[in-house]
Amino acid sequence: MPKGFPTLTDSTTRKDWSGIVTASAAQVSNSTIENVVAEIATALVPFKKSDIEITAATDIARDLNMDSLAVMDLLMELEDKFDVSIPLNMVPEIATVGQLAQTVIDSKKGA
């Protein structure tokens, strides 16, 4: 990155974004996996193409018929919502909503 550009790790950037953190992001470390699954299910509503019920066992690609671009959009939304960073090398290992919820919780604990 060119010199002088703020990065996400700059303290000034964190101060600027601190007022935007939602209650769910602040409380994710204390959340149960069920709560995170519920938040993810809510975030998945715009991506749903059928009336399937979203549970922890829902396969993101197969059951929701999401392509890779939609999955990346979802991940960016969840990273913002929960104030976490999900490494791209972990994405292929995430198949279900429950695995995604656990990844969000684990990412928050590691932060």
Q: Is residue 45 part of a domain?
A: yes
Q: How many domains does the chain have?
A: 1
Amino acid at site 48: K
- Higher per-residue confidence, 71 vs 3: 71
Q: Is residue 21 part of a domain?
A: no
| 60: CATH | 1.10.1200.10
Q: Is residue 23 part of a domain?
A: no
For CA atoms 87, 91, 95, 96, give the dihedral sign. positive
Band the pLDDT of 11: cuts 50, 70, 90.
very low
Q: Is residue 31 part of a domain?
A: no
What's the pLDDT score for residue 29?
46
* Alpha carbons 63 and 66: distance in angstroms, whole number: 8
Indicate if the pLDDT at residue 38 is higher than 90.
yes
Convert the pLDDT of each residue in 56-71 to its tens digit: 999 998 899 888 899 9
- Whether 61 contacts 83, CB under 8 Å: no
- Higher per-residue confidence, 13 vs 49: 49
